[in-house]
Amino acid sequence: MKKYIYTVMFVLMSITISQAQRMLPKQKGLELSAGSFSGDYPGRNYYLNIGMTVNGKNGNYQLWVLEYSHQYYKYKDLRIPQETYTGEGGYSFFLLGDAGKNITLNAAITGVVGYESINRGEDLLYDGAKILSQDNFIYGAGGRLSIETYLFDRFVLLLQVRTKVLLGTDLEQFRPSAGAGVRFNF
């Protein structure tokens, strides 16, 4: 008997949740996400970001993000750190999804500006070698493909693959990554 009661409750709750209004125009959201880069030290190359979204029409939204990323590069037996601080602004376009926008596929295009620091500004290594790459202001463009699903009426789970093409850097210009995050819609 309990099994039938739980089944009925689950069906009623899913009907109620699926009829909630989602992605309302001008609704704002706070997004937190983290992920990793590929490279010499997988698991130690990561990014963290916090962003704000402003919903538009038809499931599209503006995206404003502040990000910190940390990567290591290999030199002999040494790990040389690279830290990047960026700001992004752009627009995310609704590609696919169900009518209630319970699960969606979005693609975003962003502009990127920031600063990168290599080996915390120190250009000499322990063996006398000199790092020729320098700290730089960077700029470029970014792209993101994300699958977004509502966990609750205001909480969204994000799974995303991203890339940035950066100019003004002495290191990699093409930086792909993958990650996950959550968004709270106000």
Q: Which two tokens stand for residue 172?
A: 């990699």
What pLDDT score was predicted for residue 54? 94
Lowest mean pLDDT: which of 13-27, 74-88, 105-119, 136-150?
A: 13-27
What pLDDT score was predicted for residue 172? 78
The answer, yes or no, to whether residue 122 has pLDDT greater than 80, is no
What pLDDT score was predicted for residue 121? 66
The answer, yes or no, to whether residue 124 has pLDDT greater than 70, is no
- 2-185 placed in CATH 3.40.50.10490: no
The answer, yes or no, to whether residue 23 has pLDDT greater than 50, is yes
What pLDDT score was predicted for residue 16? 47
Residues 29-85 pLDDT 10s: 999 999 998 766 666 889 999 999 999 988 899 999 999 999 888 878 788 888 999
For the chain, percent of residues with pLDDT exceeding 70: 83
How many CB atoms are closer than 10 A to CB 39? 14
What is the residue extent of each domain of the chain?
Answer: 2-185
Query: Sorting pLDDT into bands at 50, 70 and 90, what band is 163?
Result: very high
